[in-house]
Amino acid sequence: MKYSPTKKIVIAIDGFSSCGKSTFAKEIAARIGYVFIDTGAMYRAVTLYGLRHGAVQDGDVNEALLIAMLPEIEITFAFNSERGASDIFLNGENVEKRIRSIEVSDLVSKVSGIAAVREQLVRQQQQLGRQKGIVMDGRDIGTVVFPDAELKIFMTADPAIRAQRRYKELEAKGEKVSLEEVERNLRERDHADQTRAVSPLRQAEDAVVLDNSHMTLPEQMDWVMRRIEKITCAPCTSK
């Protein structure tokens, strides 16, 4: 059936690591012609910058140094038609692949716990979504970035299934990493993201929970399109 909306909305997708938020958000955006923004990529890009410029070293983050570097960091997006999603650029360089390494994954939750980093990125995220028609995924989208989002989804999946999915993805990309390392990274990040002082990962009160442990992407799409249509097409169906 053709999707004929009468209004544009903001769709906020939050949840645990590697449960399929970006895959889902990308598919939704393609289906209804929205912009998709992966906010995790933004925290990863700041982490990569810190690693390259000595503010993130030996598994630790020099907060003062990284904060001083923030004005030098420019993050932009450009649509990549081959991937069907936007690639992320760090000061003009396409870092879409670089930011997915286990080295960045191991440090990103330390960087994302810094209030000044969050302030800068949240401001940019709010700008990107000011005209609506956006699907954004992350950890604090429904709680902090867009507390008034019309549709909020909180995603989760069995931790062993999530680790297996991410492991398969990294293995296919040729990254030398073990399943144990991936599991450990997921566990540590989920813990750090849920317990940090600033904007911790939590389910917004008005979010709908989606556990996709045993769901395929087409099943998820049926689930979400019913909800999107209800919100964006309500006036037309009541005529």
Ligand X SMILES: Nc1ncnc2c1ncn2[C@@H]1O[C@H](COP(=O)(O)OP(=O)(O)O)[C@@H](O)[C@H]1O
Ligand Y SMILES: Nc1ccn([C@@H]2O[C@H](COP(=O)(O)OP(=O)(O)O)[C@@H](O)[C@H]2O)c(=O)n1
Binding residues for ATP: 15-23
What is the Cα–Cα distance from 74 to 70, expressed in whole angstroms? 8
Q: Is 20 in the site for ligand X (CB under 6 A)?
A: yes
Among 212, 224, 228, 232, binds ligand X (CB under 6 A): 212
Q: Is 34 left (phi over 0), alpha (psi -120 to 50) or beta?
A: beta
Among 169, 181, 183, 229, binds ligand X (CB under 6 A): 169
How many other CB atoms are found less than 10 A from the CB of residue 182? Answer: 25
- The 83-122 contact track toward ligand X, x by CB under 6 A, reads ----------------------------------------
Which residues of the chain form contacts with ligand Y (CB under 6 A)?
17-18, 39-41, 43-44, 108-109, 112, 138-141, 189, 193
Among 82, 216, 226, 239, binds ligand X (CB under 6 A): 216
Output the CA torsion 199→201→203→206 (10° steps).
30
Which is nearest to 106 in space by CA: 14, 202, 177?
Answer: 177
> 56 is written with which tokens?
């993130």
Q: Where along the sequence are the contacts to ligand X (CB under 6 A)?
A: 17-23, 137, 165-166, 169, 212, 215-217, 220
